[in-house]
Amino acid sequence: MSATEHLLYTEDESELRSGIRDLLTERVTLAALLARIETNEPYDPKLWRVLTEQIGAAGLAVDETHGGSGASWRETAVVMEELGRSVAPTPFLGSAVLATAALRAVHAGALLADLAGGRRSASLAVSFASVPGARLRYPVRADGDTLTGTVTSVVDAGAADVLVVAAEAAGGPVLYAVEADQPGVERRPVVSLDLTRPLTDIVFTGAIGTALARGEQAEAACATALTTGAALLASEQLGIAEYCLESTVAYMKTRHQFGRPVGSFQGPKHRLAALWVSIAQVRAVARYAAACVAADDPDTAVAVAVAQAHCSEIAVRAAEECVQLHGGIGFTWEHHPHLYLKRAKADALAFGTPDRHRAILARLVDLPA
């Protein structure tokens, strides 16, 4: 069955969505979000607990023998959509997507089970700007199982218990699990453009790691993790774009100027309708990317490049329209649009900008420069 047969949402997915949306609507109010993002604890630990322990969101792509629910990345993508809609600060991307994808690839069962059950969280120690499909760089060197080097701009690493680190060793790359709370690991918080998703620089100075895989397998695990992250980020971008459109439409129905709801003016109307058309495309493209990674489809590389090239641009446009069409209040700290703009723009930079994905696509579909 081709991945194009999986573009709709199943009933299970709709139920999953509805549960998560209820939770996020309750826990991630704008006021709570604004209060939290400038503190040292941007994540809401209670939200994360409910999400992982009660809903099992972190184990959707993990099979049942490892404590997951044996669903797939497609269901995980639905979670990403909802997290995007609410710009909720959670370590889901780092732990339940990036680290989980890497650990799945190397069959690291016990750690995988910990992540799936929400008992621990992890992150993959790569720059958030790493481009899937591009050559991997290894800023960390391994000497025996002792790691040294600096990885910058790592997503969701600040609160992680475990860091999954690909390091260059004498015999080629090795993938390690590294306990984050040890003397050889220093985590330096980064002031990030997206306040709802903190980044961290990690300095390894003789940290001790546990080798999970070596050589091609280690490399492939990293590549898979990046590809999966990029594929699922498209779903987050879908959620961002949808919420930006919906909240703008809602605002324009009630905001009056010149004695009319501003949403009755054809200028913004046409722009929002065109945006809706684009978002319908984002949905199809993001679903396709999720279906491809879920099935390890041969078309995955194309699907992900298309998704990242397309969804990044539309999510940013949606957020920019959200700011602009909210007028003055769209530019204030107290209203939501700026949070979505920052998330959307950061997501566009994450896992490679659209132009970098188009360049990758050029090779994949034989359209050389």
CA angle 293, 287, 312 (to 5 degrees): 95
**CA atoms of 305 and 354, how far apart (whole Å):** 8
H helix or E strand, kind and range, residue 207: strand 199-214
Q: Name which of residues 100 to 119 contact another protein (CB under 8 A).
A: none
Q: Name which of residues 208 to 267 contact a second copy (CB under 8 A).
A: 265-267
Output the smallest distance, CB 325 to a second copy, in A: 13
Q: Which is nearer to a second copy, 137 or 270 (CB)?
A: 270
Is there binding between residue 181 and another protein (CB under 8 A)? no
Q: Which residue of 30, 32, 110, 277 would you call a contact of another protein, by CB under 8 A?
A: 277
- Give the closest residue to 180 by CA, choosing from 154, 158, 211: 158
First to last CA, the chain: 34
* CB-based contacts of 58, cutoff 8 Å, min separation 6: 51, 52, 92, 95, 96, 100, 115, 116, 117, 118
Q: Name which of residues 196 to 225 contact another protein (CB under 8 A).
A: 199
Mark 30-69 with x for binding to another protein (rule: CB under 8 A) and - for no binding: --------x-------------------------------
Binding-site size, another protein (CB under 8 A): 86
Q: Which residue of 107, 188, 253, 270 would you call a contact of a second copy, by CB under 8 A?
A: 270
Output the smallest distance, CB 264 to a second copy, in A: 10
Is there binding between residue 348 and another protein (CB under 8 A)? yes
Residue with tokens 């009056």: 256
* Cross-strand pairs, 150: 203
Is there binding between residue 331 and a second copy (CB under 8 A)? no
Q: Which residue of 140, 316, 318, 343 would you call a contact of another protein, by CB under 8 A?
A: 316
Radius of gyration, alpha carbons of the chain: 20
Are the CB atoms for 308 and 351 separated by under 8 Å? yes
Output the smallest distance, CB 315 to another protein, in A: 13
Binding-site size, a second copy (CB under 8 A): 5
Contact residues toward a second copy (CB under 8 A) are: 265-267, 269-270
